Amino acid sequence: MTLGRAWARDWVGRSARVIAEQRTRLISLDREIGDGDHGENMERGFQAVVVKLADLDPDAAPAEVLKLVATTLISTVGGASGPLYGTAYLKASGAIAGLEELDGTALVALLGAARDGVVLRGKAEVGDKTMIDAWTPAVEAAGQAQAEGRSEAQILDAAAAAAESGSASTDPLVARKGRASYLGERAVGHRDPGSVSTALILRAAADAATGGT
């Protein structure tokens, strides 16, 4: 089963819902090692996306859905995460341009382009205690699942699971990028909020592929 425009819209809708549900958690994580606005930033952005998505042509291809997410996040989300996620969705959109249906190869390209967009913008590497610690394992796990001939839903599930453990792996790290890098050793023992939002968004992509709740 390939994934098309219904999946893309569902992914965005589920992302908005889970970000709203987890707003307080994202705020408290960012309060520990940042300025406490990550939950608000992300919720504001995704609520704006949901409003705009309702006006998007119902026949719009998945790439157009992701482009709308990109432009909306860039214009509505303050802080580091707006341009970072905006670039991720913009590059992801470019990677699937013209496709009506996404197979495993397209999904791996989408995730890889999103990750590359974040790196292009923020120059973080794995181990810097940023959302890249969730994105990069997710891209690698998706690539591996695709190479093993797994289904699209399994590829996204592998990506989400890798993002979740990648996010947890930020706990013991000292941050080398973003606001948390000002804290030095005091960031140790706290999870990076952007890695948590990335894991939530990738889990939403997997859930949208299975139609689960």
Rounded to a whole number of angstroms, the minimum distance from the CB of residue 39 to ligand ADP is: 8
Q: Which is nearer to ligand ADP, 62 or 112 (CB)?
A: 112
User: What does the DSSP assignment read for 41-55?
Assistant: HHHHHHHHHHHHHTT
The one segment of 49-57, 75-83, 86-94, 199-207 that binds Mg ion by CB under 5 A: 75-83
Environment class of 107 (CB within 10 Å of its CB; exposed 0-12, middle 13-18, buried 19+): buried
Any bridge partners for residue 73, and if so which? none
Rounded to a whole number of angstroms, the minimum distance from the CB of residue 181 to Mg ion is: 12
Among 21, 35, 100, 125, binds Mg ion (CB under 5 A): 35
Q: Minimal CA–CA distance to 124: which of 113, 115, 111, 137?
A: 115
Question: Residue 81 in contact with residue 194, Cβ under 8 Å?
Answer: yes
- Binds 148, which of ligand ADP, Mg ion, none (CB < 5 to 8 A, cut-off by type)? none
Rounded to a whole number of angstroms, the minimum distance from the CB of residue 90 to Mg ion is: 21
Q: Which is nearer to ligand ADP, 38 or 91 (CB)?
A: 38
Contacts of 203 (CB under 8 A, 6+ apart): 18, 160, 163, 164
Among 38, 67, 91, 203, binds Mg ion (CB under 5 A): 38
Rounded to a whole number of angstroms, the minimum distance from the CB of residue 116 to ligand ADP is: 12
Q: Which is nearer to Mg ion, 62 or 79 (CB)?
A: 79
- Binds 162, which of Mg ion, ligand ADP, none (CB < 5 to 8 A, cut-off by type)? none
The one segment of 29-37, 92-100, 117-125, 132-140 that binds Mg ion by CB under 5 A: 29-37
The contact set with ligand ADP (CB under 6 A) reads 30, 34-35, 37-38, 41, 79-81, 84, 118, 122-124, 130-132, 177-179, 192-195
- Identify the helix (H) or strand (E) that includes residue 8: helix 5-21
Residue type, 129: K
Environment class of 59 (CB within 10 Å of its CB; exposed 0-12, middle 13-18, buried 19+): exposed
Residue count, binding to Mg ion (CB under 5 A): 6
The H-assigned helical ranges of 34-170 are: 38-53, 62-76, 81-95, 104-122, 132-147, 152-168
Task: Name the residues that contact Mg ion, by CB under 5 A.
Answer: 30, 34-35, 37-38, 79
